[in-house]
């Protein structure tokens, strides 16, 4: 990165916007992995912005673009989020009859991962921006947000960043919204931890493509 404002035109591309070598794009897409250990170096703000600007190009049902993002940057917000998520985690585990040692270990690990992530990016579905009145429309909204998150993960990967999709806020949406003082219509769907990778994930076994033809 040279620090100057970045535009889409900076990408190497042919006139029709396809990558010059499709094989390179395939190899790139196949090389993305979840990264759970990060270096402590911060992620520059303009880089984060670029990821978000790319994420919003994802397809969405009815083109409603229901994704909303929350960069949890200040220490108080991060602490409040951690407490909200792990209080709910604890309550759920207690209700399931889990052992106190297991609960304490999970809470401690979760708080540590949250505090060590260089970037915590919550993503929400704006229920005021979609028709959420049928199961089908609900699914389309969720799928649309997921598309943007996948775009963002891939854009991060293109920058050499690593990311991990975290589902915890799904289990405590109201608590998450309250902890971060979010609009009532923003439904937390999950969060991403992002940062410069400090691990090489092990091999992943892929299930074979399952496709039927009719």
* Residue ranges that bind ligand FMN, judged by CB under 6 A: 33-34, 36, 164-168, 201, 204
What is d(CA 7, CA 30) in angstroms, rounded to the nearest whole number?
Answer: 25
Nearer of residues 8 and 27 to ligand FMN, judged by Cβ: 27
Nearer of residues 76 and 200 to ligand FMN, judged by Cβ: 200
Least distance CB 17 / ligand FMN (angstroms): 27
Nearer of residues 31 and 63 to ligand FMN, judged by Cβ: 31
Contact status, residue 73 vs residue 174, Cβ threshold 8 Å: no
Least distance CB 152 / ligand FMN (angstroms): 12
What is d(CA 181, CA 157) in angstroms, rounded to the nearest whole number?
Answer: 30
Contact status, residue 1 vs residue 44, Cβ threshold 8 Å: yes
Least distance CB 131 / ligand FMN (angstroms): 23
Least distance CB 41 / ligand FMN (angstroms): 21
Nearer of residues 6 and 87 to ligand FMN, judged by Cβ: 87
Estimate to the nearest angstrom the gap between the alpha carbon of 148 and the chain centroid. Answer: 9
Strand partners, 100: none
Nearer of residues 204 and 207 to ligand FMN, judged by Cβ: 204
Least distance CB 25 / ligand FMN (angstroms): 17
Q: Which residues make Cβ contacts (< 8 Å) with residue 56, sequence separation at least 6? A: 65, 67, 148
What is d(CA 58, CA 99) in angstroms, rounded to the nearest whole number?
Answer: 42
């Amino acid at each position: 990165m040279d620090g100057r404002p970045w535009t889409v035109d900076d990408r190497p591309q042919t006139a029709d916007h396809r990558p010059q070598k499709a094989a390179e794009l395939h190899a790139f897409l196949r090389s993305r992995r979840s990264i759970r250990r990060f270096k402590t170096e911060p992620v520059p703000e303009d880089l984060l912005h670029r990821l978000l600007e790319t994420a919003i190009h994802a397809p969405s049902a009815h083109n409603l673009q229901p994704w909303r993002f929350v960069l949890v940057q200040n220490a108080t917000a991060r602490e409040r989020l951690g407490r909200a998520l792990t209080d709910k985690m604890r309550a759920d585990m207690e209700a399931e009859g889990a052992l106190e040692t297991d609960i304490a270990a999970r809470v401690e690990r979760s708080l540590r991962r949250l505090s060590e992530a260089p970037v915590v990016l919550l993503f929400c579905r704006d229920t005021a921006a979609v028709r959420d009145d049928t199961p089908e429309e609900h699914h389309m909204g969720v799928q649309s947000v997921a598309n943007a998150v996948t775009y963002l993960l891939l854009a991060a990967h293109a920058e050499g960043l690593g990311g991990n999709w975290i589902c915890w806020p799904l289990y405590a949406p109201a608590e998450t919204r309250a902890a971060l003082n979010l609009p009532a219509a923003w439904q937390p769907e999950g969060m991403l931890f992002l940062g410069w990778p400090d691990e090489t994930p092990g091999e992943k076994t892929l299930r074979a493509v399952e496709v039927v033809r009719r």
